[in-house]
């Protein structure tokens, strides 16, 4: 899906939309099987990435081919569960000496972000040790607040309920707002307040929709949401476009498209994210 604009635009691309574990089943080929990874290429060419699931491999190959001189990447991790970091060892910029990669993620007392990420590069799990990586890596731990980065971009963040914790993000670029919220469990009768605030009047809201509403009660405490909760957030926060995201690995294309159809009845500007889908956000 793509919306054209007469002026320059920021390009949002979904490289992975599946939750929990990558899949390759034929009945999931339309939605896609790579796990969480969303890229925003800004109008000035900056690379802003949310999560490093298996979709990060294809994105890294794409970015790596674009550059032959120093460049910078900003990678924001919602948390460090497997499906959100599995692509990092295969991210081509990690192996380019002229790449600078800033990795942001939750501050945790039990394991520093640097240790969690670089721990992927060790035996017996991976043949390459982190000392052999060529890119310049920066690790920035965050909890709640906001920071500026890149070419005048601003990002706000806050923790939300999920086993071991996770972070919601609100990215502000050139007067546009993209909110990224995945692996979030709202309480049974109330939406998480910080999620509403970070989503307020967003141009784009990407929200965890792992389960159909009918399946959610059997998965309480798993740390995920339903399409009903996604549309409720979109309505309360007055967002412009809603993307359902992070689909259960057992859901077929039919299951996800049924979810999309039901959600559109409640909030018409809803789309089930698909691997490879792009969405243009015009600059102001």
User: Is residue 6 predicted with pLDDT exceeding 50?
Assistant: no
Instruction: Say whether pLDDT at 3 is over 70.
Output: no
Q: Do 93 and 73 contact (CB within 8 A), yes or no?
A: yes
* Percentage, residues of the chain above pLDDT 90: 82
Half-sphere exposure of 229 (CA within 13 A, CB side): 32
Cα–Cα dist 246/207, whole Å: 8
- The pLDDT value recorded for residue 75 is 98
- For the chain, the domains span 9-282
For residue 5, what pLDDT band results from cuts at 50, 70 and 90?
Answer: very low
CA neighbours within 13 Å on the CB side: how many for 272? 27
Band (22; pLDDT cuts 50, 70, 90): very high
Q: What is the pLDDT of residues 198-256, one digit of tens each?
A: 999 999 999 999 999 889 888 888 878 999 999 999 999 999 999 999 999 999 999 99
Residues 6 or more apart whose Cβ sits within 8 Å of residue 237: 196, 197, 199, 200, 201, 202, 205
Cβ proximity of 244 and 234 under 8 Å: no
- Percentage of residues in the chain with pLDDT exceeding 70? 98
d(CA 233, CA 248): 20
- Classified by CATH at the fold level, domain 9-282 comes out as Metallo-beta-lactamase; Chain A (3.60.15)
Residue 2 has pLDDT above 50, yes or no: no
């Amino acid at each position: 899906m793509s919306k054209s604009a007469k002026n320059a635009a920021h390009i949002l691309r979904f490289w992975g939309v599946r939750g929990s574990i990558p899949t390759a089943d034929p009945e999931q080929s339309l939605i896609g099987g790579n796990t969480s990874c969303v890229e925003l290429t800004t109008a000035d060419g900056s690379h802003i990435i949310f999560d490093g699931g298996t979709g990060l491999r294809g994105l890294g190959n794409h970015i790596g081919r674009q550059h032959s001189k120093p460049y910078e990447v900003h990678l924001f991790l919602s948390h460090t569960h497997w499906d959100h970091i599995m692509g990092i060892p295969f991210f081509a910029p990690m192996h380019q000496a002229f790449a600078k990669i800033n990795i942001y993620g939750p501050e945790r007392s039990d394991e520093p972000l640097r240790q969690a990420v670089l721990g992927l590069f060790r035996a017996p799990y991976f043949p390459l040790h982190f000392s052999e990586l060529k890119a310049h890596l920066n690790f920035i731990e965050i909890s709640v607040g906001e920071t500026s980065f890149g070419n005048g971009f601003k990002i706000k963040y806050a923790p939300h309920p999920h086993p071991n914790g996770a972070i919601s993000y609100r990215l502000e670029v050139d007067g546009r707002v993209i909110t990224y919220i995945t692996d979030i469990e709202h309480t049974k009768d109330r939406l998480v307040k910080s999620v509403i605030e970070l989503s307020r009047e967003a141009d784009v809201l990407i929200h965890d929709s792992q389960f159909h509403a009918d399946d959610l009660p059997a998965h309480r405490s798993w740390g995920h949401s339903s399409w009903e909760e996604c549309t409720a957030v979109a309505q309360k926060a007055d967002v412009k476009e809603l993307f359902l995201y992070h689909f259960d690995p057992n859901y077929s294309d039919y299951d996800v498209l049924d979810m999309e159809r039901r959600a559109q009845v409640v909030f018409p500007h809803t789309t089930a994210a698909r691997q490879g889908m792009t969405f243009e956000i015009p600059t102001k």
